[in-house]
Amino acid sequence: MYFTPIAAVCFVNTARSAEKQTPITPLAISEFRARGPQGRGRISLSKNPAVSLQYAGELIAAFIDKAGGSVKGKIATGSVPEGLKPVYVHKSRPLSEILVQLLIASNNYIANQVFLEIGGTLGGSVSLEKSLKVANTMLAANGLADDIHIEEGSGISRGNRFTARGLAKVLDLFAPHAELLHGHDGGLNKTGTMSGVSTLAGYADTSKHGRVRFVISLKSGGPMRFQLLTAIEAGL
């Protein structure tokens, strides 16, 4: 099962991307129209891997169109015929650079791709099952097996669970790289939002205790998390 997130804003007759770096595609529009005349948020294409592949193909076609090219015919998977000259060869950046950009934009898609790649350390092709095995081994090694439960890598599955104490320990482990976090408020934090859930976690520079770790998870009230952060920074 693969989780491919789509972020968009839906209006009465159409939808537009909620991320300027991600083009809107026909599949994304149809998925958000199914939500109703208005709405915004993320949709996980997890039920059918073929739908995820269709969305990936549409994204590639959209980027090609944006660059002045064109794509004709249906999107399909298969082996490339021998003898064809590549029109573009992509060389990935080092993982350290990928993670920096991931954290700037909080990109769920890239997070899931990195998560899937860690399964490759077990050999053979990547799979969600392999990645979960590697991740759970790492969590257990750090005493977090009971505090963090992961079902996929994008972070948008409601099956993912954590305790505040467990996430605080993750922040302790991540502390040497705290400056990589880029919060909406300019702080060293990240938000998480689903219907009925608002979270904020990271590091706060307080007036009395220096830099501290914090984890805020609320059933509702998105603005409240930032009010609590202000109180933490004031040392209350």
pLDDT in tens, 32-61: 766 655 555 566 665 566 777 888 888 888
| Cβ 202 vs Cβ 175: under 8 Å | no
Helix (H, G, I), strand (E, B) or coil at 191: strand
Cβ proximity of 160 and 199 under 8 Å = no
The pLDDT, as a whole number, for residue 156 is: 83
Q: Which two tokens stand for residue 168?
A: 């605080």
Predicted local distance difference test score (pLDDT) of residue 3: 45
Contacts of 226 (CB under 8 A, 6+ apart): 185, 200
More confident residue, 19 or 121: 121
Residue 221 has pLDDT above 80, yes or no: no
State how far the Cα of 214 lies from the Cα of 182, in Å rounded to an integer: 15
Work out the average pLDDT over 78-94: 84
Tens of pLDDT, residue by residue over 111-165, are: 988 998 999 899 888 888 999 999 999 999 999 999 999 999 988 888 999 999 9
Model confidence at 1: pLDDT above 80? no
Cα(100)–Cα(107) distance, rounded to whole angstroms?
A: 11
The neighbour count for residue 70, using CB atoms within 10 Å, is 7
39-44 and 5-10 beta bridge pairing: antiparallel
Mean pLDDT of 196-207: 92
Per cent of the chain over pLDDT 70 is 83
Instruction: Please indicate whether residue 62 or residue 133 has the higher confidence score (pLDDT).
Output: 133
Question: d(Cα 159, Cα 115) in Å, to the nearest integer?
Answer: 16
Q: What is the pLDDT of residue 126?
A: 82
Q: What is the pLDDT of residue 214?
A: 97
pLDDT tens digits for range 153-180? 988 888 999 999 999 999 999 999 999 9
Asked whether residue 234 carries a pLDDT value surpassing 50, the answer given is yes
Mean pLDDT, all residues of the chain: 84
d(CA 25, CA 20) in angstroms, rounded, equals 13
| Tokens coding 148 | 């963090």
* Mean pLDDT value across residues 65-85: 86
Average the pLDDT over 98-105 and give the result: 89
